[in-house]
Amino acid sequence: MAIGGDAGLRLAIVGATGAVGGRLLELIDERAFACSELRLYSSEDHAGESIESGDVVRRVEVLSDPAELSDLDLVFVAVQRGAAEPLLAAISGPIVIDLSAAAMAPASVPLLAPGFASRDQVREQSRLKLFVIPHPGALALATISGALGDFSFCAATLMLGASALGHGAINHLVEESADLLNGKLLLEEEDRQAAFNASLFPGASELEKNLLAQTAKLTGKPAPIALQCVYIPVLHGGALCLGLPSSPGAEGWVAALRAAPGILLVENEEPPNVVDAIEQEALLLSVAVRPAGTSIWCVFDNARRAALSALWIAECLVPDSAEKLN
C-alpha cells in the first residue's frame, strides 16, 4: 500500500527532541523527504520550544491526546519503551513506526530493515499499520552474523552510551561529568555513577534476550551468540566486540565482511573508535584473525542508524521515493 498525495505525507514525530527523534528530523530534511505536514511532539519539559531544521523553524507541542494524530498518514514514535507502550495502544488511524526498540515486536509483526527486507515486503506489511524498528545493536549483530554465515560460537559484548537511554541520560552524563571534575558530585547510596564509569546496561538480561530474538527474526535463524550489554560513558554511539574461536573459514570471513552491504571494513590503519562512527550510516569494522580465534570490533551511530531504518520504511511507502535510501 502506498500512502500520501502528490504533496507528500502528513506525518508526526513523537519524541522529536530526543536523541533518535532529533536525528530523524535531521534526516527528513537531509533526504528531502516529501511531507505536506510535519508535527513535532515532545514532553512538557520541551513544550513551546522551536527546532530549526533545514530552512524551517518548527514548534514543538505536547501530545495531550493520541486522537490528535488520527488525521495523519504516518507517525514516528521515538520515545523510551515505557512511554511508548500506552501510546502505541491508543493511536488509531495512521501507520505507526515504533522506534522504542528495546522490546520484541509482536509475533504477528515482522521486523523489517534495510538489507533484510524488500520494498514490496514493506508495502505488504503496511496493512498492519505498525512497523517496529530493530534495535541498532540487533541490526549490527544480524548484519555481521549474516555476513559470516555459519559459525559454532560467538561471544559478543554490546557497549551502549547515554543516547541509548534517551536525551535525559545524555544531559545527566554531561552534568555529572562536570560535577565530578569540579569535585561537586554527591551521589545517594542507591545512585549509580554514570560519568567515567562502565557497568552492565540497565535491564541488561532482558535487553540481551530481546536483542538475540530480534537478531534471529531478522536473519531467519538463531545464532550461537552469548551476548552481554554494557553501559559506557559516551554521549552518542555504540560499539560491538565479537570473539569467535579458531576456524578454518576465518580468512573467508574477512572477505565476506568486506563485501557485505552496510559494512565498511577498516584495514591497514588504526581500528575505528566510537567518535569515528558518529554521522556514519555504515557499521565501521576491523577484524583480527589470530591462531586462538577471530575478534571483530564494530562501532556505529546507534541513533542515526535507528532513524535511517525508520525513514527507509517511510520512503518505501511513498511511490518512486525509496530509491533514495537503497
Domains of the chain: 9-134+305-325 (3.40.50.720), 137-302 (3.30.360.10)
* In contact, 37 and 98? CB cutoff 8 Å: no
The yes-or-no verdict on residue 326 having pLDDT over 50 is no
* In contact, 99 and 310? CB cutoff 8 Å: yes
The yes-or-no verdict on residue 55 having pLDDT over 80 is no
169-203 burial by CB neighbour count: b if 16+ within 10 A, else e?
A: bbeebeebbeebeeeebeeeeeeeebbeeeeebee
Residue whose C-alpha cell reads 530523524 in the numeric block: 24
Pairing of strands 74-77, 95-98: parallel
Residues 248-283: tens digit of each pLDDT: 888 899 999 999 999 999 999 999 999 999 999 999
What is the distance between the alpha carbons of residues 86 and 80, in angstroms, rounded to a whole number?
11
What is the distance between the alpha carbons of residues 258 and 297, in angstroms, rounded to a whole number?
14
CA proximity to 54, closest of 25, 91, 90: 25
Residues 186-199: tens digit of each pLDDT: 888 788 899 999 99
The arithmetic mean of pLDDT across residues 295-307, rounded, is 96
The arithmetic mean of pLDDT across residues 91-112, rounded, is 81
Residues 156-212: tens digit of each pLDDT: 999 999 999 888 899 999 999 999 999 988 888 788 899 999 999 999 999 999 999
CA proximity to 136, closest of 107, 118, 111: 111
Question: pTM for the full model?
Answer: 0.91
* pLDDT confidence bin for 131, thresholds 50/70/90: very high
The yes-or-no verdict on residue 113 having pLDDT over 70 is yes
The yes-or-no verdict on residue 7 having pLDDT over 80 is no
Average pLDDT, the chain: 90
The yes-or-no verdict on residue 3 having pLDDT over 80 is no
pLDDT at 323: 45
